[in-house]
A and B are shown apart, each in its own frame.
Chain A
């Protein structure tokens, strides 16, 4: 592996051992060597990457380095960028070029980052395997016959195989944490409202949140520090959110006295026994480090999936109405009339998972069904939020498996959407409650990575980061990387 972390690159850049251009070339070479096999990137422009790296080296020679100076970061194809296409891995946005940068992209640029390219994803972030991408499936570097998780599977695979040291993903129901878990990397979904959603193509507005996918906890903190903050042009971005000293949170690696909640609903029959064993072992480790493990209950967890698969598709059905062939994106050939233009453009442009969710959402919102589905789901959401509020009166942080299973085989679940939806079973409640959640590697099952999920109270990313840092420092899991891609697992 070229570098162990963003922090390592940062220190070598500041000591003058290497340059941003050298770092960029190194990763571009790896992308050239391995991307065909993984399909982690769907757009890459080496010339533009090198130009940014050169500019960063020049900046460093004239000024004090910015927080992410010269650090390569890839972004999911869901982030609008003025440079290159933004297609959300959908045919309906094929060749769409956004005339603006997402707020987080602007912030990355201002922090001096070098944007590497666009990573593969499930179409419109709808999926848990990156198999619904219109640009082909993405593969897991630990076993290329398996999925990398989703929907930020491209970002996860790219970081796991060290095609980039870090990437941005988005998380609506676990789309950062689940692929991080399945590819053995670290991913953080910040508190809803912490990071601006402006310029991120909306899937489910009340759930979507952008966050980093990296090799270490500290790297997550570095990127989150750069992208978070109030955006006056996003009304859901919170203006009075408590500010965190992200890096200091990672320094305090002491678990003594930390009360960790272990919810019984997240350790259930039917989950992979080895996954369970890995997570139990991780908790034991935390106990050795001085933490207190407290059995808790989040009684409404069993309704989270059902509520999510009503709320998210409902919002998506409206968010995706704008892809109608009128102003941008795909338009069918020679429409007969307006209705024909709408129906054929959308039929041709959207894949089947997206269509399934639009239909589900439209149905849940339709008159006569609204109360039974949408309204009921919102009531469940409130109960789930209350579960967490009650739990955090007892404990500082909650630890669970990120996913009940390890990476499954390509095609294994594509014909069974309901089973596929269950892969998000441990991540979804966190989105419904708007809380921060982090996944980090905590072992292997059948030679595939297993993820440990930390859930914190709203705005307490510091608790999550500090617990995860302590665990990371005491174990080796985050230093493993897939042998087939130059690692020494």
Chain B
């Protein structure tokens, strides 16, 4: 009998505000420990939180982008627990009434369709500090630079039925957040971290006991961890045991999970309304204004690229990975409107490929969209061949010379003079009498041989269309 996997995800996403959630301290990553702190985020006596409204707007924007309901009045609560990197002894979060509730994210399915995955809620909270234990000889140090940095916690419904679906959801969410510009979502910097709740059941049965895999920040590890956990749980049940509800840690080196704390030791967080912050009220007008400023989202852009420019879904997907790449493509098409597909091929395969090899971002590209368009125009007007264009493009990545100057300097200008082409063709025919004989005897496939020889003889400069046309005529004899 088969097993059904049930997965729900909680994503902690750091909002890219300049200042912290409840004070004016900088959120810059990588500063010297405890240099970005003040009495408020240090939890000093008598200090009070004041809400950063930029964080509120960004959370609302995210909620609107997943078609969720925005609560015009939401509340902050205190989540109480003791930990050295939690200065106040509680974390300000939203428990009873979050700002965002009930949205969804659609993921593509293997059969080319879509599956809708529910998002229960998005709430705002502050991050804790960081404890450092390693290399300090039995002493722990605390860095409170991160204390009070604003986070969104995005909680999904338990709608995912495989690790692949979980990863597809996370990738969609990750892309969406970057598109919205609400977070850098840099996973290595911990700006996008995930807890996965995993359980298994026989199809049709109620949910099984779940375990929670905490704090993972790589798609690969999340997939491995879920797959490991599913097998572990199935094994336990098939051996007649019971899964224990607990939090588990994924050890990415040993590729296994281990227990962190069981339910018996679980915290009672004693949530209650934060008395230092009045209820958070936003007006429908404010929500509408945020909605009006929402950029085109990846799904919409992808579909528009497919219909408007006739792109394959693969190319459309590649070009809409970021808002920036979509904008780059659109300005490329604007400068070379004759062939949007050629634009897509060049940008996706040539430009992004080369940048990726060089470890560069699109923003660092030495070739602008306007300059690439000039090159594509030279292919379009037959000045150079597509093959020669790749050499020109390599040079463009290295120098700022104009496209025409590079073509000139490299001598790559295409030969479209029929007299000159005829001369080459006749020379090639003279040098290969046996093949001419064969062709004329009915071996049509030899045409390719002649094209190759002529192109070689012209050092790639001959216009391939003309070569083809003239060869067909001259070979007839």
Chain A interface (Cβ within 8 Å of chain B)?
80, 86, 88, 93, 96, 98-100, 102, 197-202, 204-206, 232-236, 314-315, 317-318, 320-322, 324, 326-328, 338, 342, 362, 365-367, 370, 374
Contact = CB atoms under 8 A, between A and B. Distances in A.
A199 B51 CA distance: 18
A198 B46 contact: yes
Given A80-B46, A235-B49, A315 B278 contact: no
Interface string B137-169: 000001000000000000000000000000000
Interface in B103-142: 142
A96 B45 contact: yes
Given A198-B46, A233-B50, A326-B142, A338 B84 contact: yes
A328 B142 CA distance: 13
A236 B272 contact: no
B272 A235 contact: no
Question: Interface residues of B toward A: which range?
Answer: 20 to 34
A199 B40 CA distance: 10
A365 B39 CA distance: 27
A322 B268 contact: no
A373 B279 CA distance: 22
A365 B47 contact: no
- Nearest 10 pairs of A and B residues by beta carbon: A321-B89, A205-B275, A365-B270, A206-B275, A199-B46, A201-B45, A322-B43, A80-B46, A201-B46, A234-B48
B278 A202 contact: no
Nearest to A346: B82
Contacts of A232: 50
Nearest to B39: A100
B51 A235 contact: yes
Interface in B422-450: none
B462 to A, nearest CB: 75
B80 interface: yes
Contacts of B80: 317-318, 321, 365
A204 B276 CA distance: 10
A235 B47 contact: no
Contacts of B42: 327
Q: Majority SS of interface residues in chain B? A: loop
A417 to B, nearest CB: 22
Given A318-B270, A370-B270, 4 more contacts: A201-B46, A315-B275, A318-B88, A322-B44
B48 A324 contact: no
B82 A342 contact: yes
B39 to A, nearest CB: 6
B262 to A, nearest CB: 16
A432 to B, nearest CB: 13
A202 B46 contact: yes
A202 B142 CA distance: 24
Given A206-B275, A235-B278, A322-B87, A367 B268 contact: yes
Nearest to B23: A233
Contacts of B82: 321, 324, 342
Interface string B31-58: 0000000010011111111110000000
A198 B47 contact: yes
Contacts of A202: 45-46, 276
A338 B139 CA distance: 11
B219 interface: no
Contact of A88 (B44, B45, B51, B275): B45
A347 to B, nearest CB: 14
Contacts of B90: 318, 321
B472 interface: no
Contacts of B50: 232-235
A181 B422 CA distance: 117
Nearest to A374: B272
Given A367-B268, A374-B272, A236 B278 contact: yes
Nearest to A197: B48
26 contacts: A88-B45, A93-B45, A98-B44, A98-B45, A99-B39, A100-B47, A198-B48, A202-B46, A234-B48, A235-B48, A236-B275, A315-B272, A318-B89, A321-B88, A321-B90, A322-B43, A322-B89, A327-B42, A327-B43, A327-B87, A362-B270, A365-B270, A365-B272, A366-B270, A370-B271, A374-B272
A199 B46 CA distance: 4
Contacts of A205: 275-276
Contacts of A327: 42-43, 87
Interface in B56-101: 78, 80, 82, 84, 87-90
B277 interface: yes
B223 to A, nearest CB: 34
A234 B47 CA distance: 8
A367 B277 CA distance: 23
Nearest to B84: A326
Contacts of B272: 314-315, 318, 365, 370, 374
Contacts of A235: 48-51, 276-278
A322 B45 contact: yes
Contacts of A338: 84
Nearest to B88: A322
A98 B46 contact: yes
A324 B44 CA distance: 12
A465 to B, nearest CB: 27
A98 B47 CA distance: 11
Most A CB contacts (10 A, CB to CB) among B45, B82, B88, B90 go to: B45
B45 A318 contact: no
A96 B39 CA distance: 14
Contacts of A98: 44-46
A100 B47 CA distance: 10
Nearest to B140: A338
